[in-house]
Amino acid sequence: MRIGYGWDSHEFHAGIPLKIGGVQLPHEKGLAGHSDGDVLLHAVTDALLGAIAAGDIGTYFPPSDPKWKGADSVTFLQEAMRQVSRAGYTVANVDSTLILAEPKIGPHAAKIQGRVAELLKVEPAAVGIKAKTPEGMGTDNAAIAHVVVLLVKNSGKGSRPKRAVETVPQPEIDRVVNDLIKEVPEQPKTGGKTRR
């Protein structure tokens, strides 16, 4: 088992869409960032990478790279999930706390929970979505997310060590396998005795 923790914050700016947990919420302000500013998905991504000690979101998606300008944060999370899978783990559960003055998260919590669960390949019951207002913190113009995630090692069959294999691109593997299949002459299905 591995535990991971992630934290993120973004500032509210008027006139941009608000995305939290991969869900677009109706609000007059959105979260500014190099990407779509999805504070929750960024914290989840960092928690996943942290759990396997594989750096952080900036390691894979440096803000200096114009390629990620306005990027959908789902891309970031999916890369973290790929790293988790390569390391031989799957997500057991995740818990999160959002801290923001507005909008109210309650009415949207189930939708966010469902979307995050889908992205993490777990049941909604394995995703905690909690929200608080920033009492006394003076961060009314920001959204903050704290996330912890628990990973479990893939067990038994179906969990081959993937690290070495995945360095070869899949189309290349397919080509080699197809060539091998062509070269092997058809085997007799029954009998079992060696001919000749």
How many CA within 13 A on the CB side of residue 157?
0
Our CB check for Zn ion shows the closer of 8 and 100 to be 8
Q: Is 120 helix (H, G, I), strand (E, B) or coil?
A: helix
Stretch that binds Zn ion, among 1-9, 20-28, 113-121, 138-146 (CB under 5 A): 1-9
Whichever of 89 and 148 has its CB closer to Zn ion, that residue is 148
Contact pattern for Zn ion over residues 34 through 63, marking x by CB under 5 A: --------x---------------------
- Closest CB to Zn ion among residues 8, 49: 8
Amino acid found at 108: H
Q: Least distance from C-beta 52 to Zn ion, angstroms?
A: 20
The type of residue at 85 is S
Between 8 and 149, whose beta carbon lies closer to Zn ion? 8
For Zn ion, the binding residues (CB under 5 A) are: 8, 42
